[in-house]
Amino acid sequence: MLLVVGPSGSGKSTLARAVAGLLPEEFPGEWHGSFRVGDADVARGDDGRVADSGSGAAPVTTAGLGAGIVLQDPTSQLVMERVGDDVAFGLENLGWTRAAMRERVPEALAGVGLRGFDDRRSTRLSGGEQQRVAIAGVLAPGPGVLVLDEPTAHQDPGGAEAVFRILRSIREREAATIVLVEHRAELAWPLADLVLALDDDGRPIDAGPPTDVLKRSARRLERAGIWLPADGARRSRARPAASLASKRVLGSEPVLEIGELRFGFTPGAPVLRAVDLVLLPGERVGLAGRNGTGKTTLLRLALGLLEPMAGRIRLGGRDPRRLTAVELARLAGFVAQEPELGFLGESVRDEIELGLAPDQVPYAHDLAERLRLPLADFADRSPYRLSGGEQRRLSLVTGLARRPLLLALDEPTFGQDRRGHQALVAALAELVGEGSAMLAATHDERFVRDATDRRVELADGWVLADEPVPITRAGA
């Protein structure tokens, strides 16, 4: 297993795509040096075999390399409506018989903790469940080179552990060479045989066995914003001060009121059964729970994007489903789980400034600077050509720029290095200190500790726990 680490935008995903044979066609550019995967020269686009026509060489393809890749965004590689069909899709393209596919598909789904999901609709799954379907589809044919780009980004802690149990088994059986891009250092570093650490410019900081890299370069990696294994064992720093966030303000009107909320995509299968939740100005709430417990659904209901079966929702004292789009945009900022789905501008500057009043633009520019998207470097770049972490930070800038009453965030720290995490925590504390409230669906317990005052856990459609998050000592 090769573990590739580096700050956001350092080229980790680009390298992952290149190893899987995707880069030459998808992102044409100028190559320098040597890049070989097995017998294939990826840099030349030559897989080492003579083409069927007898002239030239066969072009590099993922199948030709015997490779499989799990991309950062699971929805980008789910192609069928039914989960079982999606896992079978790759097998069918590789010529597997129907009998072999019927045997292999349930095995692949069970291997990622989705036993019995064959007939479910992919679009009705949570982000973490979709990610596991994508992993099952890639693992099903048994690739010789397995490339994974942030495979646990949308996973709850149990799901992340399950993914790494699968990788550990593959490694122990020597069933595949694994190239892994992963920010969860406490899980990834102990499993790696080699670590390649990149800096902001995509140059190698160090490469070698994990213990050797840490011994030689731990301080350089930390300065570059790379999460290290020790970070998982450290206690969080004290949360940045927010003048209203540490207590409920007596007499203040709730930002969000949810009472006896019930919702299901079908009447007989409720996702949320009877949820009660109140957020006052200055409160920061982390919405936790396993994949599929309804965290994203609750966020969308709070914003009026879905209609409840029963119950009461009030955003700023009003029913969000009766608000116009303009009224809703003034009250709430929404950062969706898939940032690219919300992009409307052709450039980063267009995206940041879209719909802002003139007096809001300077704050948006300052926020972009603080979240490490300075317009001096990023203004003319396409939002779709940013790294996953950069796209997430851009979506955060657009969601926070209007200083909305409610900040509704879905996996806000996805793909973030240490510096991006710290900048986001500070920006949120500032906005909440001005009287906004934050409701963030997250699997990142570090974010819960660093950025929230309350942790609300969902399970089986109910609020399992609603408790304050202890404030740690500064420097602890």
CA gap 101, 417 in Å, rounded: 39
- The tens-digit pLDDT sequence of the chain (476 residues) is 999 999 998 999 989 988 888 865 545 556 777 788 888 887 777 766 655 545 556 667 777 778 899 988 888 889 999 999 999 999 999 899 999 999 999 999 998 889 999 999 998 888 788 888 999 999 999 999 999 999 888 888 888 888 898 899 889 988 889 999 998 899 999 999 999 999 999 999 999 999 999 999 999 999 999 999 987 655 555 556 554 444 444 457 999 999 999 999 887 788 999 999 999 999 999 999 998 899 999 999 999 999 999 999 999 999 999 999 999 989 999 999 888 888 999 999 999 999 899 999 999 999 999 999 999 999 999 999 998 889 999 999 999 999 999 999 999 998 889 999 999 999 999 999 899 999 999 999 999 999 999 999 999 889 999 999 987 543 33
Question: How many other CB atoms are there within 10 angstroms of residue 95's CB atom?
Answer: 7
CA distances from 153 to 17, 118, 134, 392 (A): 17, 23, 13, 12
Residue among 141, 90, 132, 89 nearest 109 (CA): 132
Question: How many other CB atoms are there within 10 angstroms of residue 115's CB atom?
Answer: 11
Tokens 């598909």 sit at which residue?
105
The predicted pLDDT at position 18 comes to: 87
> In order of start, what are the domains of the chain with their CATH numbers?
2-22+62-232 (3.40.50.300), 256-468 (3.40.50.300)
Structure tokens at 11: 């080229």
Alpha helices in 191-231 (DSSP H): 210-223
The predicted pLDDT at position 307 comes to: 94
The predicted pLDDT at position 44 comes to: 72
Q: CA-based angle 368:71:459, to the nearest 5?
A: 80
Identify the bridge partners of residue 407 per DSSP, sorted by sequence position: 333, 438
